[in-house]
Structure 1
Amino acid sequence: MNIAWSGSSRLLIGAAGLADWLDGLHGAGGLHGSNSLGTPGKPAVTALLLDPAVTDTRITTLVTEELDRAAHTTRRIVPDGDGGPDEILALADATADADLIAVIGGGSLIDRAKLLAVAHEDERARADLRTTGRSGLLTLDARTRRIRPLLAVPTTIGTGSELSRVACLPHNSGKRLVMSDALAPDAALLDPAATETLPPDLLLEGVLEAVFRTVSPYAGNLDDRPVEDALAEVCAVQLVRLGGEAARQLAAGHVPDAGLRMDLARLSGLTQSTWLCFGRDLFSTEGWMIANELSSALGTRKMTAVAALLPALWRAVLAGDTRLGSARRLRRIWDLLRSADSSGDPLPAEPVAGITALMDRWGVARDLVLAPHLLETVARRTVRTWGAGLPMLGGLRAADVNALLTAVA
């Protein structure tokens, strides 16, 4: 079977899965109830957004061949802007004649495709994307809809954007998180060709990102939820186990094999499933928000900021700061994770020492130079964007954020 369901999206496995899905778009009823994709008597038009690094890669060839086989006219677009509202709206206008939007690239490019797709078809969304309020969270109108199908082909591991209902948008020198059911792609194609050129450091960094996204709401909520806890535990354990296997293969001088990369890609997307967080506090990922502002201020990668901040966050949780999470639940999931990695000596039982050792073992960069004058600036900006009356920071004040950043510096 080459097609599976993940929430509201179809998960396509390899070129065969893509072929079946494209055929389904043209079948009776089509994807959205129309007679066929495109105008009768004319070939369907696909707007294919490409990351500059993948224009001549095998995955782009595979996708293009399947679009050709399905008699699509494919127009390539290589965005070169900052991903902000002006570029999103320009891309929406440039793809206005397309019947299908497809994207091959990392999480940020997939986010652009998701945003342009809703902006083209919904004037409310166009207006919302241009808003300039201070909030880092933008929830699109519940009536927002997307008519044209959207296909995402991720070339990285970690963001899970290919299956999520959120997208990041540059905002006030940082990033805004945009949420809407209409942002979830109709289909995500996973193929080992998509990650065969992914640098080793970004592969393991992406695995850590998926672990972080799974563990944060798990430990960030104080109450047990047996079903959702079990799902999160399985995902996190498998991510660490497979991440350890990837680290072991890399240490032996080998590129992680295709099957392993596919397993990691599926797990990465699965961590975006709403079932893992059903019934949990929606805003239990303060670490992501702080790291988001920190990475923007320093001009560094988001996961470098996350990795630098993670020990300080866990240390605060273990010290009893229930605004950041449950020490009991953090210890419980770390007990499971430390036993899952077999790529070296047993990891420390103490969670902070353990996650630090795991990041070092995987070679995840986490060294940041944070000048003292930036501490207060980042803390103030974090609270202004996500707190100070907004619900996302869960009561954290500038002094609390400053203390976490001081521990990083």
Structure 2
Amino acid sequence: MSAEFAARVPTLWQGQGITRRMTDRLTAGREALAIMDSSTPTAVLSGSPPMTIMVDARAVSITSVVSIAEQIALRKPSVIIAVGGGSILDASKIASLVLAPGRTFDFAIERAAKSALTFLPDAPPPVEVIAVPTTLGTSSETNSVGILRNESGHRLIIGRSLRPRHAIIDARNLMTLSTVAVREGAMEAFLRLAGASTSPQRTIRAKCDAITLGSALLDTASRGDTSPGSRLRLARLSAATQRTAALRGSDPYSARHWYIANEVSFALEARKMVATAAIIAAVWRRICSGDSRWGDRRSLEEFWTTTASGLALPLDPPSGIAALIDRWQIPTPPRPTPRAVASIAAVAERAWANRRPMLAGLVAADFSDLLRDSSWSSQSFGHPDRSSKVRKEVNQ
């Protein structure tokens, strides 16, 4: 997912073992606050430790974001160091809005309770954020997007005020990732480019940048090289999706798989890329059948055949992406019950579709059909109560 390109992109610092040196340099003489994933703490300063907030990345929600914001408001740091995966970086970015003039943070929280998509008033970031990712693929360290998990689902907040000032990509911070996690990150970055490339409203430069980055992501991740250099390259390529023209275009909602994967992820309590792996081939089948509500067939075919040409994959996009997911061993969730399918479809229509521009013209029946056509693991989804949050929203 990406926001419309605006203003200055973050300054990117990259290398192996550079975190302490760069954070020392960027925070010298300033009041720093570190927000860190409690499961993978990283030493971010060589001197005395800054004020620190430890967060459980597995349980990040609106409650924890509000708690972080309260501590930021109390301490009023001049710089925030956010260390962790996408959920920690997003929580830090959203919570930092508490230092913005007016009621920007309250507006974001209140609006997200009512709407799946919130655009913030245009303004520069209220405080300098240094993003230090410990996972691959989300690009949260370089984008102006934040995902907030509340009772309704994963809500999307977009605004220039969420963009970090610096991003530090350190290969040492990525070495605990499993091979599958690395490939999931590469797939997330690749599908971000592919989603943008399903729109016919693209400049030549945007197409070229997307193809160049997409080809590099597939080539690097397919080598099976898990060295620090390979992980650093994938992280740089993911960040570059936000720092080049690759995602630019007049259709900011072209990555339409993201919205339905978002609801599948929330309802089935699955990781976002696990949910995406289940539905992406079904989405591409609809595009390639000529259903322009999901995207443009010719644009997708051009992107896929060019980026995947050297990997011995089917040149038919739906078959090709399914084969790549299988080759990279990216898991999919257990098949949801018919009742869960109906719940997900109803929530997706209400949040993103029908007359809304994200999935314009699509309705619950289209999503139910898509989910029945998706790729699930052989195990039956045996816990229908896990989707009770979705059913509760549907019945409200």
2:5 paired with 1:10: no
CA distance in 2, matches of 1:224, 1:45: 43
Shift of residue 16, structure 1, vs aligned partner? 5.0
| 2:346 pairs with 1:369 | no
Aligned to 2:292, what secondary structure does the other structure show? coil
Deviation per CA, 1:194-252: give whole Å up to 9, x if none.
10111111110111011111101111x1245211100111011110000111xx33xxx
Distance 1:273 1:368 in 2: 36
Specify the alignment match of 1:232 in structure 2.
Answer: 210
Gaps of 5+ in 2: 1-6, 377-396
1:327 positional shift = 1.2
Matched, 1:128 2:107: yes
Find out whether 1:315 has 2:285 as its counterpart.
Answer: yes
Quick check: 2:270–2:333 contact (8 Å CA) kept in 1?
no
Q: Where in structure 2 are the equivalents of 1:245-260 lying within 5 Å?
A: 245=223, 248-249=224-225, 256-260=226-230
The aligned residue for residue 137 of structure 1 is 117
Q: Which is further off, 79-88 or 399-408?
A: 79-88
- The equivalent position to 1:75 in structure 2, one of 48, 51, 67, is 51
* Corresponding residue to 1:353 among 319, 336, 346: 319
Q: Give the 5 Å matches for 1:179-198.
A: 179-198=158-177
Larger radius of gyration: 1
Structure-2 change in CA distance of 1:405 and 1:20 (3 Å): closer
Name the structure 1 match of 2:231. 261
Alignment match of 1:275 (pick from 245, 250, 253): 245
Structure 1's 172 and 89: CA in aligned 2 closer, same or farther, altered over 3 A? Answer: closer
Matching of residues 2-401 of structure 1 within 5 Å: 7-14=8-15, 19=21, 22-23=24-25, 44-55=30-41, 60-61=42-43, 63-65=44-46, 68=47, 74-80=50-56, 82-96=59-73, 97=75, 98-131=77-110, 133-143=113-123, 145-219=124-198, 221-245=199-223, 248-249=224-225, 256-273=226-243, 275-341=245-311, 346-401=312-367
Query: Which letter does structure 2 place at the counterpart of 1:100?
Result: V
Hey, what's the Cα distance between the residues in 1 that align with 2:251 and 2:339? 33
Q: Distance in 1 between matches of 2:249 and 2:185?
A: 26
Aligned residues of 1:218 and 1:232 also touching (Cα < 8 A): yes
- Give runs of ≥4 in structure 1 deviating > 4 Å: 15-18
Distance 1:274 1:281 in 2: 16
CA drift of 1:307 comes to: 0.5
- Structure 1 distance, partners of 2:8, 2:246, is 11
Match of 2:381 in 1: none
Please tell me whether the aligned partners of residues 134 and 384 of structure 1 are also in contact (alpha carbons under 8 angstroms): no
Work out the percentage of aligned pairs sharing the same amino acid.
30
RMSD: 2.1
Amino acid at match of 2:288: L
Query: Matched residue of 1:138: which SS?
Result: strand
Note the alpha carbon deviations across 1:7-37, whole angstroms, 9 max, x for none. Answer: 42010124558646754665xxxxxxxxxx5
Q: 1:142 aligns to what SS in structure 2?
A: coil
Distance 1:228-1:352 versus aligned 2 partners, 3 A rule: same
CA distance in 1, matches of 2:319, 2:56: 41
| Cα shift at 1:353 | 1.5
2:125, 2:160 within 8 Å by CA — same for their partners in 1? no
Aligned partners of 1:336, 1:274: CA distance in 2, in Å?
A: 19
| CA–CA distance in structure 2, aligned partners of residues 48 and 24 of structure 1 | 13
CA pair 399-106 structure 1, distance change in 2 beyond 3 A: same
Contact 1:240–1:340, Cα closer than 8 Å, also in 2: no
Work out the number of aligned pairs and report it: 364
TM superposition score normalised by structure 1? 0.84
- The letter for the 2-side match of 1:45 is E
Q: Which amino acid aligns with 2:208?
A: A
Give distance in 1, aligned partners of 2:27 and 2:333: 47
Letter in 2 for 1:180: G
Contact 1:7 1:273 in 2 (8 A): no
1:135–1:384 Cα contact (<8 Å) kept: no
| Unaligned 5+ runs, structure 1 | 1-5, 27-36, 38-43, 250-255
